[in-house]
Chain A
Amino acid sequence: MHPILAFRGRLGPYLAAWVPLAGLLAGLLRIGGVTWLQAAILALPLAVVYAFMCLAAWYPCRSAPLSKASFAKVVVTQLAAAGLSAMLWLFLADTWVVFLEQFPAFAGAGERFPHLVAVLLAAGVVLYALAAALHYLLIGFEEARRAERTALELEVLAREAELRALRAQIDPHFLFNALNAVSSLITAEPAAARTMCLELGEFLRESLRLGGVATIPLAEELRLAERYLAVERVRFGARLRVEREVSDGATTCAVPPLMLQPLVENAVRHGIAHMVDGGVVRIAARCSGSRLHLTVENPVCPGSPEPHRAGLGLANVRKRLAALYGSEGTLDARVSEGAFRVEVMVPESRHPAQ
C-alpha cells in the first residue's frame, strides 16, 4: 500500500509541504537570472507536477527496502531513480518554457533557460531525495505499526486458546456427560470412577497450564489428547477406538499448545458420536521436508445433520496457525471416502530441552 496515497489525510499535508519548496525553487530561478514574475510562473506548476512525480518514489523504495536491501543497492537504485526523475522534470520544464515564450512577458526566457538547467537538475535530485526519504520513513512507520498489530493479534489468539481451555471446564458436551458417567460408575465400579475423576482433573489442570505457554513439545500435546480420549472412552466404550502413528522425530517438535486437542475433540464430537458402531480416530505425526505434518482423521456418518459445526473449532486453529507462522502454517480439512481428515503443517522446529 502506498504510504501517502492509501491513507486519507496524508496527501494534503504532503502537498502543503511542497508550497515552501515551490517558493525556494522560485528563489533559485530568480538567482538563475529570470525576473521574479517569470520565476513564480515557472516554478509553481513545475513544483506541483514534481510533487506528484515524487509519489512514484514508492516503487524504488519498495524494490530496495532499507531493512532488506544492501546499502549499495539502495544508493544505486535511488540515484538512478533520482536522475531519471530530474531529467524527466527538466524535459517538462523545457517544454513549459517553450510554451511560455510565445507570451510577451517571457520574451527571451528561452535564452536564459540553459543557465537554469543546472539549477533545475540539482533541485530535481534533491527534491526527489527528500521524497524518497519521506517514503522510507512512512514505510518504516507502517511496518512498525503492522508488527505491533500482529503481535497484538497473536496475544489475543493465545488468550482465546486459554479461554477455550477454560471453557472445557464448563463445556456441557464434555463435562456434564463426563460427570454423569462418573455418577454411574460410583456404585458399580468405584475404582473406575476414581480413575475417571483423576483423568478429568489432570486434563483440566493440563489444559489450563498449557494455555499460558508459547510452545510445547508435541509429546505433551499428545498426552493431553490422550487424557481427553481416556475420559471420552468411558462414555463411548468400544465405539471409540484410537490409532496413533507418531514418528520418533516428531514427538520433540515444538507446537503451539492446544492445537491438536481441539482437532481430536472435533473428531469425537462430530465423527464418532454420530456413528452407530463408532469408529477409529487416527492421529498421525511425522516430519518431512523441514515441516511437521499432523493429521487427525475420523469416519463420518453420511446423513449427519451437523457437519458444519466442526468448522468453528477448525477456523480458530487455522487463525492461530496463520498468526504464528504466516503462510508456513496451514490447515487443510476435507471429507473423502466417508472420512473427515484434517491435516496441519507447521515449520519443523525443536522444542528446547526441559
Chain B
Amino acid sequence: MPSGESALRFVHGRRMLKPDPVQRNSSRVSIATAALLPAATVLLAAGIFALDTVTKIEIAVAVLYVAVVLLSVGFCRTRGVVLVSLGCIVLTIASFLISNSDVQLTGLVNCGISILAIAATGFLALRIESAELAAREARAQLAHISRVTMLGELTASIAHEVNQPLTATLINGNACLSWLGAEPPNLEEANRALQRIISDAARASDVIARVRGLFKKSPPQKHRVSINDVVRDTIALTRNEIETNRVALKLNLANDLPPVWGDRIQLQQVVLNLVLNAIEAMHDARAASPELLVVTAQQGADDVLVAVHDGGRGLDAAKMVQLFDAFYTTKQDGLGMGLAISRSIIEAHGGKIWAEPNKPRGAVFCFLLAAAPAESPVHAMKTGAMP
C-alpha cells in the first residue's frame, strides 16, 4: 500500500496530459474560459479603441464595446462586468478626447450613444447573469430538498414497518409473563405468545432485509471498467456545478492505466460524491480561485489510484477516519451518508478509500482499486470487452 505522501508526490510529478475527445467537453472548455476568453476580450477592446481613435468615421464605433461587455460575462463575476463596462466607457471618452481636439456635435452625440449602449448592455448582462444564477441555485436546492424529503419519507416508512412488529413483541412479552405468572401458569397461552414474538421478530428482520434490497437492487454488475472513463463521465455530470462555482478543473489522467474490475455506476457514484464534496468545500471556504484536480495513476504493479484534490478549508487530522462514518458530517445541511456509502462501495470492490491533507491547503480524497486481472483473448471475445 503506498503511503499517502508518496501518492501525493506522484500526483504532482505527473505532467498534464493532452485532453482527449471526451475530455474536451469538460476540461478544455474550462481552460479556454480561464485563459483564452479574457485575452480575446482585451484584444477586441484594444482593436475597437484603435479603430475609434484613429479613424475619422462618422459613426459610433464605440458601440462595438457592447461585444466586449458581453464577452466579459463569460469569465467575470458581477463586479468584473461592472468594471469592464466602466473601462469601456472610459476608453470611449478617451478616444473622443484624442480624436476630436475640436469638439464637434456629431462626435459628442456618437460618444453619448456609445456610452448609453455600453451601460445598457452591462446592466442587461448583469440581470441575465443573476437570473441564471438564481435558476441554477433553485435547481440545486430543489435537488437537495427532494433528496432529503425522499430520505425522510423512507425513514418514516421504515420506522412504521419496524414499529408494528416491535410493538407486538413488547405486548406479547408482557402477555407471556402474565400467563406464566398466573395460578396455575397457563403454559399453552404463554407458548402462543412466544410463538407470536418469534414471528414478529422475523417480520422485523424481513423489513430490514427488504430495505437492504432496496439499496442493492441488483448485485453489482462487475465488468472491466476504465477508471478514466468513469472520471470523465462523472465530470461531465458536474459541469453545471463546476461552472457555477467558477472552478478551474484540471484532469491529470494517466494514459496507460489498466482497467479495474467493478460496477461502473457505483464507481461513478463515488467519484461524483468526491467531486461534489470538493466543489462544496471550496465554495464554503470562499476560495479565491477554486481549483479542482482529479488525478488517476497506477500504483505499483496492480493498483489504480484516483485522487480528488480541493483547495477548501482542509480537514482536521484527527477526523480523517471519522469522516467515513455514517451520519458524520462537517456540512451544515449534510446527511453524513455520502462518504459512508462511498466507503462501502469501494470496500465492496476490495479497495481502500482515505483522505489526506492537500498542499498548500485543502484536502485530497483518494481511493485505490486493484487492476482487473488480464483477460484471456477467448473470454474477451465472448464478453465483447475492449482490450
Partners in one complex: no
